[in-house]
A = this chain, B = another copy of it.
C-alpha cells in the first residue's frame, strides 16, 4: 500500500483511495496513512459523538471498535460520512491532494459528491485554475460501435486537430458516444454534438445521453400517460428498472409477472389454446400479454415480454435467446422478436433494454400522431 500511494502521488495531483476503513482487523488503511504521512491517530470527539448516535438510532450496542473509528490521523481534514461510521480523510500535500474514503459504494459516493468535489473545485479556483474540459454525450442503440465509427470517421478526423475527442462506450445493446473538448474547443462542442446526432440519426435514442428509462419516464409524465407490464422471462426486471428512478408512480401502475402459463391465462387473459398452439414464447402470446396488462391494470400502454433466457429450454425453431416483446397503445400493438445469445444474465439485461427502447418508440410515434391532429385518442381510453 505504501508503494502504491507513493507511485500514485508521483503521477497525479489528486489521488483517491477507497476501502479499508472499517472496524475489523483487516482494515489497515488509516494505519498505513499515518505511517506514510508521519502522523498519528487522535480521537475526534465530534466524530465519536456521531458514531455513538448512529448506533443508538439503530438500537445497537456501541462497541469499543466502533468508537475507535473516531481515531483519525492528526494531519488530515475529516470529511463527514452521515451514511456510515467511517469518515473520509483529506490530506493536503505539496503539489496535490490525497483522499481516503470508505469502500461501501453509496458512502463513498456521498463523500465524493458532498466533500471531495466541492473542496477540489475551491482548490482549483484558489489556484486560478478552472476545469477546462467539457463533455457531451448521446445514446445509440441498434448497431455496433464500428458501424457508428465508420459513419462519422471524417468528422472525428477533422476534430482531432481542434481538440475534440470521441469515446465509444459500449454496453450490451447500446453504445454511448462521448465528445470531450479541451481549452478553446469547448466553444465548438455543441455544434460537433449536433453533427454527430444528425449523422447517426437512425440509431440515436437520446441526444443528451440520458438512459432510455429516463427518456421514457419523462415522456410518459409529460403526456400524462400510464404504463403497465406483463413479464415472463424477465420475472419483474422491467418493472424494477422503471421504479429504480424516483417518481415512477406518476406513470407506472404495475403489472403481472406471468412466469407460469396459468398466470398468463388467469391474470392476463391469454387464451390457453394460443399457448398450446403457438407456445408460451410466441408473437400471439406476447401481444395478448401486452393487451392483457393494459386492460388488467387500466393503463394507456401495456408491455408483454416472453422469451427463453437460457441456458435450458431452447429448441431448433426457438433457440435460447429468442425473445418476443410487444407494446400495446391507443393505436394498436407492435411486436418485435429478438435473437440474443446464450448467456442468461446478458439475455435478461438485453431484453429489458430492448423493451424500454420499444416502449419509447411507440410512445414517441404516438406523441407525433397526437400532435398532428389525432389528439384525444389517449383520452378516449
Contacts and interface: CB of A to CB of B under 8 A. Distances in A.
Interface of A: 7, 22-26, 60-61, 63, 65-66, 83, 104, 106, 143-147, 149-150, 156, 165-168, 170, 172, 229, 231-240, 242-244, 246-249, 252-260, 262-263, 266-267, 296-298, 309-312, 341, 343-346, 348
Nearest to A68: B146
A257 B257 contact: yes
Given A61-B147, A145-B22, A249 B244 contact: no
16 contacts: A22-B168, A23-B146, A24-B166, A25-B149, A60-B147, A65-B149, A66-B146, A106-B343, A229-B236, A231-B236, A235-B243, A236-B257, A237-B243, A246-B309, A246-B311, A260-B297
A56 B83 CA distance: 51
Nearest to A339: B58
A267 to B, nearest CB: 7
A297 B268 CA distance: 12
- Residue of A106, A259, A345 most packed against chain B (CB within 10 A): A259
A292 to B, nearest CB: 11
Given A63-B150, A234-B243, A267-B267, 7 more contacts: A25-B156, A235-B239, A243-B309, A244-B345, A248-B259, A254-B258, A255-B257
Given A24-B145, A346-B106, A252 B259 contact: yes
Given A65-B150, A145-B24, A267-B296, A253 B243 contact: no
Given A26-B165, A249-B259, A240 B240 contact: yes
A229 B143 CA distance: 37
A143 to B, nearest CB: 7
A83 B321 CA distance: 13
A233 B231 CA distance: 17
A170 B22 contact: yes
A370 to B, nearest CB: 24
A85 to B, nearest CB: 8
A256 B246 contact: no
Contact of A259 (B24, B253, B257, B341): B253
Nearest to A157: B25
A258 B242 CA distance: 13
A240 B352 CA distance: 11
Nearest to A11: B3
Contacts of A25: 149, 156, 166
B254 A243 contact: no
A343 to B, nearest CB: 6
A23 to B, nearest CB: 4
Contacts of A298: 262
B257 A262 contact: no
A89 to B, nearest CB: 19
Given A246-B312, A248-B259, A253-B263, A23 B149 contact: yes
A56 to B, nearest CB: 14
A106 B346 CA distance: 8
Contact of A256 (B7, B235, B248, B254): B254
B259 A256 contact: no
A297 B65 contact: no
Contact of A263 (B167, B254, B309, B341): B254
A341 B310 CA distance: 36
A167 B246 contact: no
